[in-house]
Amino acid sequence: MMTKPFATTLDPATSLANHTGSWRTLRPVNVFKIPPCNKQCPAGENIQQWLYYAAEGDYERAWRILTENNPFPACMGRVCYHTCETKCNRGFLDESVGINSVERFLGDYALDHKLSFQKPTRETGKKVLVIGAGPAGLSAAYHLRRFGHTVHIVEQGEEPGGMMRYGIPVYRLPRSILDAEIDRIKDMGVTIECGRKVDDIIAEKQNGKYDAVVLGVGAGLSANVNIPQGDANHILTALDVLKEIETKGDIQIARRVAVYGGGNTAVDVARSLRRIGAEPIIVYRRNRDKMPASEEEMDDAIKEGIQVKWLSTIAGATKDSLKIEKMKLDETGYPQPTGEFEELPADAVILAAGQNCDLEPVKKIEGIKFEKDSVNVDSSSLMTDVPGIFAAGDMIKGDRTVTAAIGMGKHAARGVNAYLKGAKYERAAKHDEAKFEDMHPWYYSDAPKTVRPMLELARRTSTFDEVQHGLTEENAVFEAQRCLSCGNCMECDNCYGVCPDSAINKLGPGKGYEFNYDYCKGCGVCAQECPCGHIKMVPEKI
C-alpha cells in the first residue's frame, strides 16, 4: 500500500461549529510532512510520489513525476550514491527501500518505450547561454527549455556529458544510456556546441545577444600533489587516464600501478586499470572509515582484487618503486607522519587526490566574487554577484556529485527564469520531516530489500561490461510497494474504519479524507491507527 499524492482536510479555523460538547480538548487534523528520502535527495526528487505510481504499475506517470526534477533517471539509477536510502524510515523495520533500483527501472523503461519530454507550449523569446554540458549544465538547460527559453550550450569537450562521460567508467554507466538521455534533452530544442572553450564569457554573452548565462564548468583539472621523484614520465593524473580509456578504449601503462587517493575517482581509475591488465594498488593516508569513496564502490573494488595500503602516503618515487611513509590518525582524525618508511614496487603513479575547476575565464568577469576556489552565489537563485550570470555544479560550494550538480542546475534555471521576469527566485520552505517515531506501521510484514544482480567476478576484471544489472518489472514493483508513505496519506481507510463516531468522510480516489467536527469527539483513535503519521491531534480552540 502506498501514498496518494493528494489529501485534503477541512481547516479547523473554518470548519463547522463544534457540536460535540465543550469537553473536547483535542481535534484531529491532517499534516503533510516531507519524507526523509525526499529531504535527502540532492536533486530534489519527489521520491515518495513516483514510488506510489511505480507500485501501481503506472510507469510512465512515475517517470514523468521523477523527471520533473531530474532528467537523467537511467543514468542516476546507475551512478547515484543514493544517500536517500540511508535516511529511509523503512530501515527501522528491516531494510531501506531500494529507491535507486526503482529509479533505474523507470529510466530504462522510458528508454525502451521511447518516452520523450514534452516540448514547451510557448516560447518566451529569451536566450540563455549555458557553459558546460556536464550534469549541472544539462540539467539547467533542460529546465530552462521547459520554461520556454531558447538554450544553447557550449562544451569544451568533444562530446557532451562532462564528468558523466569522462570521469565515470563505462562499466558503471554505459555510454548508450548517457547518449540517449542527452538526446532527449536535445530533442526539446536545446542546442549543444562541442569542442570549443569560452575564454571571454561577457563577450560571448554580448555577441550572442543572450539574456542570461549559466556557468556549469565541472571539476576537470586534477589537483597538484608534490611527490619528490626522479622520473616524471611515470606520474599521471586519474582524469587523464580515465579520459584516455574513454576515448581510446585502452591505455599504455605499466603493470604495477599505485593510485594515490581515497575518493571515488581513485576507486574508478583503479577498477578501470584492473580491467586492462594492470595490477593497481590504492595508497591512502587515512583508514577505511575515513575514506570518502562510496562504500559500495570500495567493496566492489576489493572483490575485484584491488589492494589498498591504508594509513600510507607517498614520500618519494623512482622509476620502479615508491617510498611509502606510514601515517597515524590524531585525535581529530587527521593523518600524521610516523617517520616509518617502506618501499613499494611500482612502475607508475596515478594521482587521484582531488579535482579543481578551470576558473580562469570566470575570473575575467568584472564583479565576480569567490570564496576560496568556489564562485560566490546567492543561496536560492544561484546568481553570482554579477546580474544575469548564474553558476551551478562543481564551481560553487556543495557536494561534488552528479546528483548534486543536477539539483543545482535545476535551481539555477529557476533563478534565471525569475530573473528574466524581473523577479527573484526563493526556494519554497519545506514541511517538517516525517520521523519513524511519529508513524504506526503496525501492519507491515518483513519484506527484505531486493538485491540487484551483479556481473560475475570473473568477467569484471577482463571486460568493461556493466557490473550492476537492473531489477525485473516484478521486483521493481515489489520494491516500490515497500515504501511506508512517510507522513502522507495513502488512503488505506484505517482512520475511516476505526472512527467510532463516523466523523471521517471519504472524498474519493486521490482526494483523501475530511473530518466532520460535528461528530468528532477527539478520541484520537484515527491518529493512533494512521500508519503514515499523517494525522495529528492538536489543541481545540476555545
Confidence (pLDDT) at 19: 56
Question: Does residue 79 carry a pLDDT above 60?
Answer: yes
Identify the CATH homologous superfamily for domain 226-353: FAD/NAD(P)-binding domain (3.50.50.60)
Confidence (pLDDT) at 6: 37
Confidence (pLDDT) at 249: 85
User: Alpha-carbon distance 390 to 234, whole Å?
Assistant: 40
Question: Does residue 17 carry a pLDDT above 60?
Answer: no
Please check whether residue 353 is in contact with residue 225, taking contact to mean a CB–CB distance below 8 angstroms.
yes
- Least-confidence region, from 257-261, 373-377, 488-492: 488-492
Confidence (pLDDT) at 542: 64
Confidence (pLDDT) at 448: 87
Confidence (pLDDT) at 310: 96
Q: Categorize the per-residue pLDDT at 35 as very low, low, confident or very high, splitting at 50, 70 and 90.
A: very high
Rg of the chain on CA atoms, in Å: 27
User: Alpha-carbon distance 305 to 273, whole Å?
Assistant: 11
Confidence (pLDDT) at 463: 92
Q: What is the mean pLDDT of residues 378-404?
A: 96
Virtual torsion, Cα 330, 333, 337, 340, nearest 10 deg: 90
Q: Categorize the per-residue pLDDT at 538 as very low, low, confident or very high, splitting at 50, 70 and 90.
A: very high
**In terms of C-beta density within 10 A (0-12 exposed, 13-18 middle, 19 or more buried), how is residue 16 classed?**
exposed
Q: Categorize the per-residue pLDDT at 440 as very low, low, confident or very high, splitting at 50, 70 and 90.
A: confident
Q: Categorize the per-residue pLDDT at 9 as very low, low, confident or very high, splitting at 50, 70 and 90.
A: very low
Give the CATH architecture of domain 127-220+357-420.
Answer: 3-Layer(bba) Sandwich (3.50)
Question: Does residue 272 carry a pLDDT above 80?
Answer: yes
The more confident residue out of 10 and 513 is 513
- Minimal CA–CA distance to 353: which of 477, 259, 492? 259
At the top level of CATH, which class does the domain 1-32+488-542 belong to? alpha beta
Specify the 3-state DSSP secondary structure of 54. helix
pLDDT tens-digit map of 112-156: 999 999 999 999 999 999 999 999 999 999 999 999 999 999 999
Domain ranges of the chain: 1-32+488-542, 37-115+439-481, 127-220+357-420, 226-353
Instruction: Provide the CB-side half-sphere exposure for 15 (13 A, CA).
Output: 21
C-alpha cell at position 246 = 574513454
Q: Categorize the per-residue pLDDT at 222 as very low, low, confident or very high, splitting at 50, 70 and 90.
A: confident
C-alpha cell at position 403 = 546528483
pLDDT tens-digit map of 401-421: 999 999 999 999 999 999 999
Question: Does residue 12 carry a pLDDT above 80?
Answer: no
Could you please report the per-residue DSSP string of 110-163?
HHHTT--PPPPSS----EEEEE--SHHHHHHHHHHHHTT-EEEEEESSSSTTTH
User: Alpha-carbon distance 377 to 387, whole Å?
Assistant: 11
Q: Categorize the per-residue pLDDT at 14 as very low, low, confident or very high, splitting at 50, 70 and 90.
A: very low
Confidence (pLDDT) at 22: 59
Q: Name the residue with cell 620502479.
A: 320
Shared fold status for 127-220+357-420 and 226-353: yes
User: Alpha-carbon distance 261 to 291, whole Å?
Assistant: 9
pLDDT tens-digit map of 56-65: 999 999 999 9
Please check whether residue 74 is in contact with residue 112, taking contact to mean a CB–CB distance below 8 angstroms.
no
Instruction: Return all residues near 233 (Cβ < 8 A) that are at least 6 apart.
Output: none
Q: Categorize the per-residue pLDDT at 16 as very low, low, confident or very high, splitting at 50, 70 and 90.
A: very low
Instruction: Return all residues near 450 (Cβ < 8 A) that are at least 6 apart.
Output: 98, 101, 471, 475, 478, 479
User: Alpha-carbon distance 476 to 144, whole Å?
Assistant: 32
- Minimal CA–CA distance to 271: which of 80, 457, 471? 457
C-alpha cell at position 59 = 510507469
Percentage with pLDDT > 70 across the chain: 95
Question: Does residue 198 carry a pLDDT above 70?
Answer: yes
Q: Are strands 504-506 and 535-539 parallel, antiparallel or unpaired?
A: unpaired
Counting every residue written for the chain, the total comes to: 542
Q: Categorize the per-residue pLDDT at 324 as very low, low, confident or very high, splitting at 50, 70 and 90.
A: very high
pTM of the model: 0.91
Q: Assign residue 367 a region: left if phi > 0, alpha if psi is -120 to 50, beta otherwise?
A: left
C-alpha cell at position 188 = 526539446
Confidence (pLDDT) at 231: 57
Q: Categorize the per-residue pLDDT at 45 as very low, low, confident or very high, splitting at 50, 70 and 90.
A: very high
Confidence (pLDDT) at 212: 98
Confidence (pLDDT) at 319: 79
Long-range CB contacts for residues 498-507, cutoff 8 Å, separation at least 24: 498/525, 498/526, 498/529, 499/525, 499/526, 500/525, 501/20, 507/8
User: Alpha-carbon distance 424 to 420, whole Å?
Assistant: 9
Q: State which fold the 37-115+439-481 domain adopts.
A: Fumarate Reductase Iron-sulfur Protein; Chain B, domain 2 (1.10.1060)
Q: pLDDT averaged over the chain? A: 91
Helix, strand, coil shares of the chain, percent, nearest 5, are: 35, 20, 50
Percentage with pLDDT > 90 across the chain: 80
Confidence (pLDDT) at 230: 58
pLDDT tens-digit map of 455-471: 999 899 889 999 999 99
User: Alpha-carbon distance 14 to 27, whole Å?
Assistant: 14
